Amino acid sequence: MSEAVTHFKDLCSPIWNLYSVRSLLYWDQQVLMPSGGGGARANQIAALEKVCHGMLTDTKFKDSLQRAEEAAGEDIDKRYLRSARRAYDLASKLPSRLVEERARATSLAVEAWVEAKKNNDFKHFLPHLRTVFDLTREVAEHKGYAEHPYDALIDEYEPGMTTKKIDSLFGGILPPLVQLVQGIAAARPISRKILQQPFGFEGQHEFSRYLLEQIGFDFNRGRLDQSAHPFCASSTSSDVRMTDRLDEWLVTMSIFGSLHEGGHGLYEQGYPAEWNSTPLGGGCSLGIHESQSRMWENFVGRSLPFWKAHFPKMRSIFPQQLWGYGPEDMFRAVNYVEPSFIRVEADEVTYTLHIVMRYELERDMITKALDPADLPDAWNEKMQKTLGVRPPTDALGCLQDIHWSDGLIGYFPTYSIGNVVAAQLWNKIGKDLPDLESEITRGNNLGLLDWLRKNLHRYGSSVLPEEAIFEATGGEELDHRPFVDYLWDKFSRLYEIQRP
């Protein structure tokens, strides 16, 4: 390694260590911080963002980066520098004042959102929502874009993605998806009686932790807590913190919330420890990240082999509720399809419809085609049109997600990208691991995890998303068709319907 590269890495180390501290502050705010600490925490996070931004955009950093790029010889150093260059280019476009102001505004907005959701009080959240979108719109203008301001935002989470590409992706998914929803609606419903009863919180937490251990999550390097909205916050691969949400009458929320965040957690625990607090740590994009969470949540967690393996454990925790039931009953119940209000509780088939409506709403608020004050009505109308249901309250409607309060605008499409990538990976995994179904039935998920470690996790953010897909699938580009085929194959058999 050249002296120039070594010197540059020394400059990077404190910056990415401070970003790790920021992740811990965010986790603490959602899990442990007393309710009165919001204002002080907002100032702390804003100050930290300002310091990091100043260090990242300093002339000394820029000059050292350029010298390192000229001297780099090893491929891994070039990848390190590519990630650092992207971070510098994005940061250098934003004034320090905007970075600090947005960090403070989103921290305060999260606190306001928690209170607004709890009290079903959109008016309490509205000024914060307006501020976040105003500042995010300003971010888009500073970053610049070729065709649409939303392009500048989604690129932050999914490098290379654009509004036009998202529209094309959804254009390929929605027609066959709508046909499937219509076919299921006309079919004989499957029973979910097994789930329509109370399950205690202590038992839910025990079972969620058990499942995370079974899929390979290392609790020596992570933990599971509760929060208003499930999330995964990783400071390093050795400190990965997840949360879930418990509801006595909705045990699937904790089960699939934990598996979803567990997929994120496994990805974060899978890159080399020496990449901690460097530009190479973490995942290469949010779409690739979501492919891991959606795979473990749905492709694995909602499969019959999975429930054959783990239903006995659940029945031992909840013997009264599950007496007389078997794994097939649970498998069918967790694949019940019905349009619903809450995205994180949605079934596999209707989930993408939730994503499409959020994408359209936030895109319109960025272009000012929709005023934030009109969001509740616009949300309800779009949900009625898209899913055929109308939320009775804003808490069940436009206040249900944390993302906009947190400034994660441009994030929602990555959930659908994740579904698509998960299906492509699943096809390749099936070819490489022909005994996978039998292994999952026996409760052995480590073969699958090992495949993911070797073919995806170990690369961290040293690759671009299109490179990750190409390498892991054996030469494919992003393609919605395997996802559509997966849904039709699974649910046409469950509901005994024919694909047109």
Q: Which residues fall within 8 angstroms of residue 493, CB to CB, at 6 or more apart? A: none
Q: What are the mean pLDDT values of the chain's consecutive 10-residue runs (500 residues total)?
A: 93 96 95 93 95 97 97 94 97 96 96 96 98 98 96 96 97 96 95 97 97 98 93 96 95 96 98 96 97 98 98 98 98 97 94 97 98 98 95 97 96 97 98 98 97 98 97 97 98 95
Own/partner pairs, 61-66, CB within 8 angstroms, 24+ separation: 61/11, 61/88, 62/88, 62/92, 64/4, 64/7, 64/8, 64/11, 65/8
Does residue 176 sit in the same domain as residue 133?
Answer: no
Its pTM stands at 0.95
Q: SS3 for 232? A: strand
Q: Are 416 and 242 within 8 A, CB to CB?
A: no
Distance CA 361, CA 359 (A): 6
Does residue 178 sit in the same domain as residue 323?
Answer: yes
52 inside domain: yes
Per-residue pLDDT, 101: 97
Domain stop point among 144, 172, 200: 144
150 inside domain: no
DSSP letter at 303? S
Per-residue pLDDT, 500: 85
Q: What is the domain extent for residue 96?
A: 3-144
149 inside domain: no
Q: Based on the residue annotation, tell me whether 261 is a catalytic residue of this protein.
A: yes
Does residue 224 sit in the same domain as residue 107?
Answer: no
CATH code of the domain in which 346 resides: 1.10.1370.30
153 inside domain: no
Does residue 98 sit in the same domain as residue 231?
Answer: no
Per-residue pLDDT, 383: 96
Does residue 15 sit in the same domain as residue 83?
Answer: yes
Does residue 78 sit in the same domain as residue 185?
Answer: no
152 inside domain: no
Per-residue pLDDT, 428: 98
231 inside domain: yes
Distance CA 40, CA 37 (A): 6
Q: SS3 for 235? A: strand
Instruction: Specify the number of domains making up the chain.
Output: 2
Does residue 380 sit in the same domain as residue 235?
Answer: yes
Does residue 113 sit in the same domain as residue 224?
Answer: no
∠ CA 404-408-412, rounded to 5°: 90
Domain stop point among 80, 112, 144: 144
Does residue 428 sit in the same domain as residue 338?
Answer: yes
Please state, as a whole number, how many other Cβ atoms lie within 10 Å of the Cβ of residue 14: 13
Domain stop point among 112, 144, 176: 144
154 inside domain: no
Which residue among 111, 158, 261, 348 is the active-site one? Answer: 261
Does residue 294 sit in the same domain as residue 231?
Answer: yes
Does residue 352 sit in the same domain as residue 466?
Answer: yes
Laid out side by side, the sheet with 222-226 consists of 222-226, 239-244, 232-236
Distance CA 348, CA 294 (A): 9
Does residue 32 sit in the same domain as residue 79?
Answer: yes
500 inside domain: no
